Chains A and B, each alone.
Chain A
Amino acid sequence: MNRSRGFDRLLRWYPPQWRDRYGPEMVALLEDTFGSRRVPWRVRVSLMRNGSLERVRGVGWAGDIASSRDRMKAGSTLIVCCWSLFVVAGAIFAKFSEHWGVATPVVGRHLASVGYDAVQWSGEASVGIVVVAALLVVPTFARFLRGGGWSVIRHSVVRTTSFGLFMAAATTGLALWAHDLSSPQRNGGLAVYGAAFLLWGVGVVVLIGSSTATMVAATRPLTLPRRITRTEAGLAMALVLSMVIDAAGVVTWWVAEARYAPSALGGHGAGAFLGMPDVLPPALLVAGMLMVFGLVVAASGVLRVSRAFADQ
């Protein structure tokens, strides 16, 4: 194997524009430094970390950006990316809590309902916010495509669309299969169906991630008018508010169920298998961690947007 190509592969963490500019000289540096020796793990990890950081900087989520409008746009897209984590967390929560009303005694239903309704309303509100934000960008996006922008985003759009079509076919297949199964078979009685459902869930998560990456790729080259950028930033802030309400709703529902119907939280098997207490089911823990991570990262987006507002 050509040694340079081996070094080239170490740079795959860097964005393409970076590799075009600095790739050949970095490969020369790696050749001069390590020659035929094996590149230590410390250096590999450092290249991975720095390459990922350059990708983050490339999107404008870190580092200095001179224009406050670009900072506002970068902060807004970061918030939408965090919201996609909430979509995944919301899907986990929806699946986990689908029969909660049956298992919860009347005395505990009020508090749980408050939390559950908050999750639903904030979820619907956030979808509305994202749709409005997307519609506002359409005219600029159309101009971008007419100006030859398709070649810039083609790869990302084709990849996401193809996978989306595959997932649509998989969803139809799974739904038809589920139609022929009994309720106990669908809910853990048939291992093959359970595995297929799990794979489908992973596919949905990948599709959400791919769609988010396409959104970032499509909005990055756009030069939005100042008024639209400010509106988008305002909508992003509203999105964060809906995410906070969403998380608070999940916590409220969780606390209510833990207090009044712990069996509804522990009846899913996985927690018992992992030795987790009934009130800390793994699915809800994953959803909670996604929400906490999403909120923490979104906070840096809020900071970026608010500083850009202050600079204008």
Chain B
Amino acid sequence: MVGSLGRNNEPVVLILTSLASGSKHGYALSKDIEDFAEVILGPGTLYGAIARLEERGLIERTSSEDRRQPYRITSSGREALAGAVREMRVLADEGARRLGLDELARGRTHRPTILGSPS
């Protein structure tokens, strides 16, 4: 899925992540992405990505009379984002394991568990 959506800092992934918590219009999306990812998407980049996502049916417009058109994530969009997140997790876990960052690694790391001790 990451292959189809791009890397985790790609605008399409950032937009889907932002819309996963509710519908937003362009300015709200831009501010939210700046807050959680510390990435500033320019208007051209933002709307280029919105158009691609809309073409692929991953987001859709909600009815609005305002020029500030809100978008929401579709079920296909949720599925695509979930796939991307899973792949990013696998990559993050593998990176953490190879770097020896045990506190970050999950899933594929095989740490012995001692019953009764804090993990």
| B2-19 Cβ-contact flags toward A at 8 Å (1 or 0) | 000000000000000000
Query: Any chain B CB within 8 A of the CB of A50?
Result: yes
Decide if A46 touches B43 in the complex (CB within 8 Å): yes
B 39-95 contacts with A by CB, 8 A = 42-48, 50-52, 66-69
Decide if A53 touches B26 in the complex (CB within 8 Å): no
Please name the residue on chain A nearest to B70 by beta carbon.
A25
Contacts of A54 in B (CB 8 A): 48, 51
Decide if B30 touches A53 in the complex (CB within 8 Å): no
Bound Cα distance from A49 to B42, whole angstroms: 11
Contacts of A222 in B (CB 8 A): none
Decide if A29 touches B43 in the complex (CB within 8 Å): yes
Q: With A25-B68, A25-B69, A27-B67 in contact, is A32–B50 under 8 Å at CB? A: no
Interface residues on chain B, number (Cβ under 8 Å): 18
Decide if B67 touches A28 in the complex (CB within 8 Å): yes
Contacts of B43 in A (CB 8 A): 26, 29-30, 33, 43, 46-47
- In angstroms, how far is the closest chain B Cβ from the Cβ of A4? 9
| A6-40 Cβ-contact flags toward B at 8 Å (1 or 0) | 00000000000010001011111110110000000
Q: With A43-B43, A47-B43 in contact, is A29–B48 under 8 Å at CB? A: no
Decide if B26 touches A29 in the complex (CB within 8 Å): yes
Contacts of B25 in A (CB 8 A): 25, 28-29
Please name the residue on chain B nearest to A53 by beta carbon.
B48
Known pairs A46-B44, A50-B44, A50-B48 / 11 extra A-B pairs, C-beta < 8 Å: A18-B51, A22-B47, A25-B26, A25-B47, A25-B67, A29-B47, A32-B27, A42-B42, A47-B43, A50-B45, A54-B48
The 8 closest A-B pairs by CB, nearest first: A50-B44, A29-B26, A32-B27, A46-B42, A28-B67, A46-B44, A24-B67, A25-B69
The chain A residues found within 8 Å of chain B, CB to CB, are: 18, 22, 24-30, 32-33, 42-43, 46-47, 49-51, 53-54, 63
